[in-house]
Amino acid sequence: MITLQYIYWLAGAYLLVLAWRGGRDRSNRKRWGNAGFWGIMALMFLAGERLPSALAGAAVLALALIAGLGAMGRGGAPQARDDRKREQARALGNRLFLPALLIPGTTVALVLAAKYTGWGSWLLAADQTTVIALGLACLASVLSACLLTRRSPMYAIESSRPLVDAIGWTAILPLMLAALGSVFAATGVGDAVSSLVQWAIPVENRLAVVLAYALGMALFTMVMGNAFAAFPVMTAGIGIPLLVQGHGAEAASMAAIGMLSGYCGTLMTPMAANFNLVPVALLELDDPYAVIRAQLPTALPLLAANVVLMYLVIFR
């Protein structure tokens, strides 16, 4: 049976190759910073649960130190000429989209198979089935792209390195912020938020609580930079005690729309550096907030629509 541990090992192996190839890239002046950062990440994925807590904490501090000192840089990778790329693209046509479409298609297929078929439930562990399916889908996508372009898996990894180097430490920001959100929830921040909201608004009013939860998800996401960090705090502080227990809301739909409200905040904050600042650097835009300005006309109406949808859906 495939468990989440295999996906961790797969991710760790990829990061280990990135570290190895990055350390050998003499065109990158900061290659040892890249090698150290991705090597530590690989260690955490490959053996994190077996490391002493103190050593794991030291590894996290080392990651922060490498990133904070600006010790990571962009390296080189094998690149085909532009005319060669256009020639290959014309030859492959719309088949180029197949590897990308395999990811959602395979994920959905495996999740449904695990739920409704005997062989699927035997193949995938019941815990974190969706994450396992997504990992397998990504692997299938890479292999299909290699077959389609007649390139090796190592070439695929090497070709991904410039993008990973350009994103840098912000690639792991969602993971870190999600962990921070769990820490906040465990230390009672959710209870403090609940007390503050109960003092500030009429909690017997459904609409007021819905507004507090949806807008709170968006605002806390803007502060934290990621909806995964905001979700455990706002859901523990407002969603569960005030909406589910207080007004009988349906938890699953409330959580789904609440998370989408948080994503609206992601579109509007520079704290979401991997989403809003890295594209500015990659596209070499003059305005550092150009991506956020372009997203505002989508984020605000979508947030308003989420409030209406939440009010209409979760109490049915």
- Residue 81: pLDDT above 70? no
**Spatial distance between the Cα atoms of 105 and 87, rounded to a whole number of angstroms:** 28
SS3 2: strand
Q: Each residue of 286-305: pLDDT tens digit?
A: 888 899 999 999 999 999 99
Would you state the pLDDT for residue 11?
Answer: 92
Would you state the pLDDT for residue 73?
Answer: 82
Of 1-5, 41-45, 130-134, 253-257, the least confident: 1-5
Contact between 94 and 179 under an 8 Å Cβ cutoff? The reply is no
Would you state the pLDDT for residue 75?
Answer: 67
Would you state the pLDDT for residue 48?
Answer: 82
Contact between 230 and 286 under an 8 Å Cβ cutoff? The reply is no
Would you state the pLDDT for residue 262?
Answer: 93
Higher pLDDT, 18 or 174: 18
- Residue 177: pLDDT above 80? no
Q: b/e string for 35-57 if b means 16 or more Cβ within 10 A?
A: bbbbbbbbbbbbeeeeeeeeebe
pLDDT band of 79, cuts 50, 70, 90? low
pLDDT band of 65, cuts 50, 70, 90? very high
- Residue 80: pLDDT above 60? no
- Residue 189: pLDDT above 80? no
Q: Each residue of 111-160: pLDDT tens digit?
A: 888 888 877 677 887 778 888 899 999 999 999 999 988 888 888 888 88
Of 103-112, 172-181, 206-215, 226-235, the least confident: 172-181
Of 179-183, 241-245, 288-292, the least confident: 179-183
What average pLDDT does range 161-165 have in this prediction? 83
Would you state the pLDDT for residue 60?
Answer: 87
Would you state the pLDDT for residue 209?
Answer: 92
**Spatial distance between the Cα atoms of 271 and 277, rounded to a whole number of angstroms:** 9
In the chain, domain spans: 82-151, 188-313
Would you state the pLDDT for residue 76?
Answer: 59
Higher pLDDT, 266 or 89: 266
Mean pLDDT of the chain: 86
Contact between 33 and 71 under an 8 Å Cβ cutoff? The reply is yes
- For residue 31, CA distances in Å to 39, 62, 86, 126 come to 12, 16, 31, 40
Higher pLDDT, 62 or 86: 62
**Spatial distance between the Cα atoms of 33 and 44, rounded to a whole number of angstroms:** 17
Contact between 198 and 241 under an 8 Å Cβ cutoff? The reply is no
Percent of the chain past pLDDT 90, that is, above it, reads: 38
The two tokens of residue 56 are: 């794991």
